[in-house]
Structure 1
Amino acid sequence: MQGTTYNNRYIIGISFISALGGYLFGFDFAVISGALPFLRSQFGLTPVWEGFLTGSLALGCIVGCMFSGRLADKYGRKPGLMLAAIIFAVSSVGIALSKGLVYFLVMRFAAGIGVGMASMLCPMYIAEISPAAVRGRNVAINQLTVVIGILVTNLVNYFLADGGTDAWRWMFGLGAVPSVLFLIGVNWLPESPRWLIKAGRTLQAEKVLHKIGSEVFVEQTITAINKSLTGGSAGGFKEIFAKSVRPAVIVGITLAVFQQLCGINVVFNYTSTIFESVGANLNRQLFETVAIGIVNLLFTLLAMWQVDKLGRKPLMLIGSLGLSIVYIVLAFLLQQHLSAGLVSIFVLLAIGIYACSLAPVTWVLISEIFPNNIRGSASSVAIVSLWSAYFILVFTFPILAKKLGTYGPFYLYSAICFAGFLFVKSKVKETKGQTLEELEDNLIRH
């Protein structure tokens, strides 16, 4: 917007507080990798139960997404974030106290509800409070906290690994600490100005917008939001598949599913399995999770720097094609049982490519391509699709690895990545530098 200035310190501050939900997402996502060697022994897991235990988080995520979109549209973004924080804290303690497999699965499912809520609400909230010029960077802050959560969790798991057979209980239980900090932080967040205007609370929205930017920014933003809501419906699921918005919904769902079926989360969740197949011991397996976390963090920072400069589409194209090539090499290395050091190089290369492309950019696009009046519900549908694909991925990997060898699934993931490259090239439009309302206008015109 011409002639506008922004309070960048305030914008970044509230973005980071909201993105603490991403840290918890990263924690619950990563903790299973370090705990899995212990859980196999604790519960006597078969490949099917190992896949189901790992994927149980995704089943909870699906439930969390299904009701958090409607919750966010009806009551606001802030109450949803607070509820997610409470669920994170309770489930972390519950998992740590598990006495049997069934109780563990119930608590892991509950943790997934919190992850599902946070995975939808945090990037959506940040997108709605951020000016267009920095929206990509700010939404990527959420991905940054996700990878920090992964790295810190992997480091903690590494140092707890010598704590005996119950080390996994500490790995999960420590998640209660950042959960409480997130709950405290959410109390300081303002409600989303776009939701406030939609709810008829324009004066409150003006106060929030004045903290974000200048008077010109406030006036232009309120005018644009009101225009986008004029004549709109309540944003129910029927409206999500209306002809005018169907292209955006199809793109959102496809990108969400692709981000998971591209296969990288097999590397995150089954690091120990992959490196065990080439002879690495438990200490080396856990060390690799730490290396993965460090590379993930560094390349996420690269993505934050480039997402509003290079753009969303180029990063997605680079990531999908790059992963397709790297997976073929990785599959060959695993098939030939070559050294763990050589395998590590290409595992880390895959992580780096994903971290600066598909990982953050998918969340950015999902948070910005849907119209204001259906953003909560449409985001919910897209992210439910994402977590459904995640469950399919992590549930099937141990089974496929047993039947085909650890290398086999990576040939399949390579083909999926190439198909994703073709889809992004033909169907995804660039969104950098446009306000949410401008994107909505372009969607309706096309």
Structure 2
Amino acid sequence: MSLNQSNKVPGKGLIRTLTFVASLGGLLFGYDTAVISGAVGSLNNFFVEALETVGDTTGAAILQYKIILTICILLILGLFSSFLYKFFQKIKASGIVLVLLIVGGYFYYTGFLNTPNVLTENLKNSILGFMVSSALVGCIIGASLGDRLANSIGRRNGLILAAILFIISALGSGYPDNLNIFGGNILTSFIIFRIIGGIGVGLASMLSPLYIAEMAPAEKRGSLVSFNQLAIVGGMLIVYFVNYFIVRGQTEEWINTTGWRYMFLSENIPALLFLVLLFTVPKTPRFQVMKGQEEDALDVLTRLNGPDKANSIINNIKNSFSTKKGHWLSFGWLIVIIGLLLSVFQQFVGINVVLYYAPEIFKGMGMETDASMSQTIIVGLINMVFTVLAIATVDNFGRKKLMLIGSIFMAVAMIGLGITLYAESTGVMALLFMLLYIAAFAMSWGPVTWVLLSEIFPNKIKGVMAVAVAVQWLANLAVSWTFPMMNNNTYLNDNFHHGFAYWIYGFMALISAIIIWKLIPETKGKSLEDIENIWSKK
């Protein structure tokens, strides 16, 4: 066997191993975000409905909810304040931010904080929506810190931190009463533990694809980064099975008091595996070059690419770091706008409504608990199958075509689902529209968005990726939190029969198609340095 051959074979094996380990972060991302789907009904019963029976303490519990919600909002504003200040300062419109904050604060105070602490329908829906989506507050925090951690402790060590947070969250979310160390009620305890897990998800959402992208050869980067999305949907599918087997044959009373705890505790198994395996993989060459560890970086690159390519690659890496980090608008407005729009519309099309609330949606179609859980498994299988197809085609068919086709089919599916529900026909057609939607998303905006976000930002403004991912989680929070407010609203249901929300998501899918058509460049087969040149020329 020649030297080139001997290096080629171990390189393939090593990149597969690295991709597998890093993708476990994606698996936990999917597991942690989807585990809530099986527990929505139980959480509503255990936490929200119970507020109606606790008498004098109901007002105190509502007050705590208002306080923790306000803290979360202020925290999110604080995290985005630096970016917003720089952005509006650049366009000489800083006063707009101040006006928006004053107006928004006034309406928030008068319309929410200053209202009586009475458990109304809207408040119940708000509490349930925030419980389900509270992890997303942590995702925003984790994603916002991702770039700083990636450049200080490294991509791999950042993932180790994420694994530890997953373990803490799994234990605390399962037993928020026994592990209530925060001084509030158990609703507050549950929300905080979910936020801790969300921080882990936010870190993994940025660092896992970044780790793979920095390790992978250019010609395979699209498909290998897409394995992170495959791991995400794999984590979702696994937890759908776990949730199904936990509740199968059990009484509603047992599920509402004990079963939901087992759902959260089950996350400890993949989280511990992830933590252990991370200690067996190297740091990325780009991080090692950044820290002056060129010999270590060269060793990793040689094992991955062979000695001939390794020297060329490390020179390209060094050249890419030769300039200091610049302002986020160093390459113009377009790249920043594209990154933010990709992040926002991946969520505005409504994917996480289906993934988080699928069992409740199926229950709304008249299915029993076991049947709704089994239908959710079908959703997970479709998600998995079409994600695999996307991985197989993303480096050949191209990013832009997949995204455009996916947007069109998502729009058709969501508008069709809304019409079906409006007509009160909740049989096979409603299920088929939902499965079509999942298939379209899994072939396009699911994996390809992460590929594009890992590719498009030059090293000089790599920090924009952290902002884009944080904005993605903010959009996810907005969509997931507001869905119960629309879906459980008496007025909307009397007039639209649960179809209203899906028309909103279908309209967003149409807008996403226009964005892809007009703004997104094709990046397949291009090195990270070639992609940087695209923006330099604009």
Q: TM-score, normalised by structure 2?
A: 0.79
Per the TM alignment, residue 250 of structure 1 is displaced from its structure 2 partner at its CA by: 1.6
- Number of the residue aligned with 1:31: 35
Aligned to 2:214: 128
Alignment match of 1:404 (pick from 492, 501, 519): 492
Task: Find out whether 1:16 has 2:103 as its counterpart.
Answer: no
Pair 157,240 (structure 1): closer, same or farther in 2 beyond 3 Å = farther
1:51 maps to which residue? 129
Q: Does 1:389 align with 2:393?
A: no
Note the C-alpha offset of 1:432: 0.9
Q: Counterpart amino acid of 2:260?
A: W
**Residue 531 of structure 2: aligned partner:** 439
Other-structure match for 2:316: 224
Secondary structure of the residue aligned to 2:395 is coil
Match of 2:406 among 319, 328, 336: 319
Residue 187 of structure 2: aligned partner? 101
**CA–CA distance in structure 1, aligned partners of residues 309 and 332 of structure 2:** 27
Q: Which amino acid aligns with 2:263?
A: M
Q: 2:40·2:360 contact (CA, 8 Å) conserved in 1?
A: no
SS at match of 2:522: coil
1:249 Cα deviation from its structure 2 partner: 2.0
- How far did residue 347 of structure 1 move? 0.8
Q: 1:114 aligns with which of 191, 200, 224?
A: 200
Structure 1 position 336, deviation (Å)? 1.6
- Counterparts of 1:443 and 1:65, CA distance in 2: 24
1:70 pairs with 122, 125, 148, which one?
148
* Distance in 2 of aligned mates of 1:284 and 1:333: 20
Question: How far did residue 93 of structure 1 move?
Answer: 0.7
Q: CA deviation at 1:373?
A: 3.7
Gaps of 5+ in 2: 50-123, 178-185
Cα distance between partner residues in 1 of 2:399 and 2:214: 18
| Cα pair 2:176 2:189 within 8 Å, conserved | yes
1:27 partner SS: helix
Q: Deviation digits for residues 333-358 of structure 1, max 9, x if unmatched?
A: 11122133321111111101101110
How far the C-alpha of 1:5 sits from its partner, in A, is 5.4
Deviation at 1:86, TM superposition (A): 0.4
Alignment partners' CA distance in 2, 1:319 and 1:217: 36
Q: Using the alignment, how far apart are the partners of 2:218 and 2:204 within structure 1?
A: 22
**AA in 1 matched with 2:216:** S
1:368 aligns with 2:455: yes
Q: 2:344 aligns with which of 230, 241, 257?
A: 257
Change (3 A) 1:435 1:36: same
Alignment match, 1:147 = 233
2:520 is matched with 428
Choose which of 191, 201, 209 in structure 1 pairs with 2:293: 201
Which amino acid in structure 2 is aligned with residue 94 of structure 1?
Answer: G
**Which whole-Å CA distance do the structure 1 matches of 2:424 and 2:207 have between them?**
43
Correspondence 1:188 to 2:280? yes
Whole-Å separation in 2 of the counterparts to 1:327 and 1:196: 46
User: Is the alpha carbon distance of 1:60 and 1:346 closer, same or farther for their aligned partners in structure 2, counting shifts above 3 Å?
Assistant: same
1:95-124 alpha-carbon deviations (Å, 9 max, x no partner):
111122111111011110000000010001
Cα distance per residue 1:126-152 (max 9 Å; x no partner) = 011111110011001111111111011
Residues 329 and 336, structure 2, Cα contact 8 Å, conserved in 1: no
1:307 paired residue number: 394
Q: Which runs of 4+ in 1 moved over 4 A?
A: 3-6
If asked which structure has higher relative contact order (CA below 8 Å, sep 6+), I would say 1
Q: Matches of 1:277 and 1:91 in 2, distance apart? A: 30
- How many Å separate the matches in 2 of 1:279 and 1:70? 48
The two structures, once aligned, show a CA RMSD in angstroms of 1.6
SS at structure 2 position matched to 1:270: helix
- 1:139 aligned partner, one-letter code: V
CA distance in 2, matches of 1:287, 1:385: 33
Whether the aligned pair in 2 keeps the contact of 1:241 and 1:249 (CA below 8 Å) is yes
The aligned counterpart of 1:290 is 377
Q: In percent, how many aligned pairs have the same letter?
A: 37
User: Retained in 2: the 8 A contact 1:315–1:356?
Assistant: yes
Which sits farther off after the overlay, 93-102 or 169-178? 93-102
**Counterpart code for 1:436:** L
1:347 has 2:347 as partner: no
Q: Which has the larger radius of gyration?
A: 2
CA distance in 1, matches of 2:467, 2:369: 39
Consecutive unaligned residues of structure 1, counting only runs of 5 or more, are none
For the 8 Å contact 1:367–1:379, the answer to whether it is kept is yes
Q: CA deviation at 1:245?
A: 5.1
1:166 aligns with 2:258: yes
Q: Name the SS of the counterpart of 2:280 in structure 1.
A: coil
* 8 Å contact kept, 1:316–1:424: yes
- Aligned residue type for 1:44: V
Distance 2:336 2:317 in 1: 20
- The worse-fitting range, judged by mean Cα deviation, of 271-280 and 63-72 is 271-280
Shift of 1:442: 2.2
Residue 128 of structure 1 aligns with an amino acid whose one-letter code is E
User: Following the alignment from structure 1 to structure 2, what is the Cα–Cα distance between the partners of residues 128 and 245?
Assistant: 24
**Separation in structure 1 between the aligned mates of residue 343 and residue 135 of structure 2, nearest angstrom:** 17
What TM-score, normalized to structure 1?
0.95
8 Å contact from structure 1 (residues 262, 414) kept in 2: yes
Distance 2:413 2:529 in 1: 38
Correspondence for 1:156: 242
C-alpha distance in 2, partners of 1:38/1:244?
Answer: 49
Q: Distance in 2 between matches of 1:51 and 1:288?
A: 22
1:404: Cα distance to partner?
A: 2.2
1:81 to 159, 171, 175: 159
